[in-house]
Amino acid sequence: MKALIINCSPVKNGATAEIVRTSEHTLKESFDVKTICIDDYKFSFCLGCRKCHNTAKCVQQDDIDRIIEQFEWADVIICVSPSYWADVPGQFKAFIDRCTPWCNTHEPHASLSQGKKGYSIALRTGPNEKECHRIIESIFHFYGHMEIECCGSLSLCSIENKQDVEKRKQEIFDFCSKIT
């Protein structure tokens, strides 16, 4: 089985990246694992032209298709997202918006292979877990429209920097051990 772990943060070496590395280390015992960072790809915002509603293709040519290729490769997708003003970072939200050609709310639409499973890990600096749930809801909403089965999530509060991840690694290990 193949697992794709996405760092939904534009920060490549912070707490989110540390959680991605910890998850990768745990999952590589059972999966062929790839990790990507949303900031490694260049793409524009959705134009809102709705041409993809008729063609199932975006009029813009950029790295969105490269990210979708990674989604297609994977059997399991794990989005790891920090809180940016109580939701996913803007870069990841822009990616979600650009996935409209694959969205199941209109015909025709492109689609990923069936049977993909989606998981989410949300983190935030404060203690309010409700904010993590909002991030997870955003990711699971996205998964639903991409026809990726929502299978599990982990909320990690009070994570200010990557050093804070160290004391939470057992939670991450336990969560990853349940990914199938």
- The CATH number linked to 46 is 3.40.50.360
- Give the chain's length: 180
Contact 157, 124 (CB under 8 A): yes
If residue 151 lies in a helix (H) or strand (E), which one and from where to where? strand 149-156
What is the C-alpha separation between 53 and 122, in angstroms, rounded?
A: 31
What average pLDDT does this structure show over 95-111?
A: 95
Residue 132's pLDDT band (cuts 50, 70, 90): very high
Domain with 160 in it: 2-177
Contact 46, 33 (CB under 8 A): no
Contact 150, 3 (CB under 8 A): no
**Confidence (pLDDT) at 16:** 98
Average pLDDT, the chain: 97
**Confidence (pLDDT) at 114:** 97
What average pLDDT does this structure show over 39-63?
A: 96
> Which positions ≥6 away from 28 have C-beta within 8 Å?
none
**Confidence (pLDDT) at 13:** 94
What average pLDDT does this structure show over 66-75?
A: 98
Residue 100's pLDDT band (cuts 50, 70, 90): very high
**Confidence (pLDDT) at 110:** 95
**Confidence (pLDDT) at 94:** 98
What is the C-alpha separation between 92 and 81, in angstroms, rounded?
A: 9
**Confidence (pLDDT) at 19:** 98
Query: Strands 32-37, 2-7: parallel, antiparallel or unpaired by DSSP?
Result: parallel
What is the C-alpha separation between 30 and 40, in angstroms, rounded?
A: 26
**Confidence (pLDDT) at 175:** 98
Residue 116's pLDDT band (cuts 50, 70, 90): very high
**Confidence (pLDDT) at 28:** 96
Q: What percent of the chain has pLDDT over 70?
A: 100
pTM above 0.95, yes or no: yes
**Confidence (pLDDT) at 148:** 98
Contact 137, 96 (CB under 8 A): no
Contact 140, 119 (CB under 8 A): no
Tokens linked to 89: 């970072």
**Total of domains in the chain:** 1
**Confidence (pLDDT) at 53:** 94
> For 102, phi and psi rounded to 5 degrees?
-100, 0
**Confidence (pLDDT) at 36:** 98
| Tens of pLDDT, residues 31-42 | 999 999 999 999
Contact 81, 155 (CB under 8 A): no
